[in-house]
Amino acid sequence: MERVNYISLLVLALWLVGCDNKEDTRVSRPTSSTIEVSDAQIQAGKAIHDKNCISCHDSSVYTRLERRINNYSELLAQVRRCDANLSARLFDEEIQQVTLYLNQTYYQFDLP
């Protein structure tokens, strides 16, 4: 009797562990992002950045210790704030490209 209970407990435990594992692989798999990243976009982002974004600060602000940006959306928001200071505002697509470039080169956040 006891032996049977022990075995069924073991089976139950293995079953639960099995479920957990499945759950884990699903969660730890990189989340598929809706944002498409290509080398062409990164290059475009760099070109736009180097042309428009280094009049007030150089790239050292992206690596400063006291930076307040914690994820990709905050980075995008900051790029929009900075863009608002440009005399010739960027198109939304260009803002996305600059953000991808900065993220790939400096911040390395997961894409939303």
Toward ligand HEC, which CB reaches closer, 35 or 86? 86
Please say whether the beta carbons of 52 and 75 come within 8 A: no
Toward ligand HEC, which CB reaches closer, 42 or 79? 79
Q: And the tokens for 39? A: 């080398």
How far apart CA 15 and CA 47 sit, in angstroms, is 54
Residues at the contact surface with ligand HEC, assessed by CB under 6 A: 49, 52-53, 55-57, 61-62, 64, 67-69, 75, 78-79, 82-83, 85-86, 98, 102
Toward ligand HEC, which CB reaches closer, 23 or 50? 50
**Minimum gap (Å) between residue 92 Cβ and ligand HEC:** 12
How far apart CA 42 and CA 99 sit, in angstroms, is 9
